[in-house]
Amino acid sequence: MGFGNLRAIMHQGVEQYLHALMKIRNEDGETEIASKLLDDIERRRIDRPSAARLLEIIFESIAENYSEYVDYNSTTTHSDHGEKLYMLLDMLRVQVEYDRICWRLKPVYWVHDSMIRANCDGAALLWERAVARRSVDAADEHIRQYQRLSDKYGMWLPSVHERLQERFVRPLQVDRMCGLVLKAVRQKQRNEPETAFDALYSQIEIFAKDPMGVGFEMPEWLAALRNEVMATRMEAIEAEISDDERENGRDVFNSQPHFEQAHLTRPQLNKIIEQID
């Protein structure tokens, strides 16, 4: 179930993969490749196209949520038994339902981000509270579904639980934190009181108290903050270069190199193409 193996199987086709397994099994006899699925296919309990379709769904689910699979494989004893993979898939189903609602809320998140960029902090805060108030029932229901599955299977997946604990408002909180980066930089440049930096530091401390992620991956909030810092630094560098170029009488970002237009006849064009070939 390595990520590279999953991608290779899906690239060549799951049905072709099953055909290769059956061929190896018939040539080598009873080996480790023998499985209940292959037995069922041979005994016509399930046809190969149906088995391939179901396996493809499973493989795609694992590949698209591989961080959660790593979490399942490293933190639970259930992963020692391949027939219990359905437990992970059930939990992933709850997370996917949550992600589907998040996708529908994308325009809401974009409006909030625009408010932050426009320094409409009061309106952004009211917007965030409204989203939290209207999404509380859906957030609670997803957490209850996860808790029921956790109690039923005796399994706890931190990655899925942390995702559901975002409660649809974590992206808004991350946007608010990232919006403080540019304000902090400008206050520093203007030698103003660094209130934005103090607020940013407080927000970072709140996020850092609860470690998130599988362990080998950077938390999403930290990646978003890093990208915001890099973008802010790049804008500052470009602004400095533009000021220097304008002082010298030219703007390298707006100036375009001039090339004289060449007019070619069809035979000339054909000759050039033949030379290239």
Radius of gyration of the chain (CA): 28
Asked whether residue 38 is domain-assigned, the answer is: yes
Section 134-161 average pLDDT: 94
Residue 11 falls within a domain, yes or no? yes
Q: Does the residue 4 lie in any domain?
A: yes
Residue 224 lies in a domain: no
- Computed over every residue of the chain, the mean pLDDT equals 84
Percent of the chain at pLDDT exceeding 70: 85
Question: Residue 182: inside a domain, yes or no?
Answer: no
Q: Is residue 194 part of a domain?
A: no
Nearest to 181 by CA among 217, 129, 233, 216: 233
Residue-wise pLDDT tens digits, 47-79: 888 888 988 999 999 999 998 999 898 888 888
Q: Residue 240 and residue 145: Cα distance in Å, rounded?
A: 53
Indicate if the pLDDT at residue 251 is higher than 90. Answer: no
- Domain contains 141: no
Is residue 253 pLDDT above 50, yes or no?
no
Give pLDDT, residue 164.
Answer: 94
CA distances from 153 to 9, 65, 87, 142 (A): 29, 20, 7, 17
Range of the domain at 47: 1-64
Q: What are phi and psi of 13, to 5 degrees?
A: 105, 130
- Rounded to 5°, angle at Cα 237 from 118 and 241: 115
**pLDDT of 252 higher than 80:** no
Average pLDDT over residues 211-230: 79
Q: Is 263 a residue whose pLDDT tops 60?
A: yes
Does residue 216 lie in a domain region?
A: no
Closest by alpha carbon to 14, among 52, 58, 49? 52
- pLDDT confidence band for 231 (50 / 70 / 90): confident
- Look at residue 79 in the predicted model and tell me its pLDDT: 85
- What total number of domains does the chain contain? 1
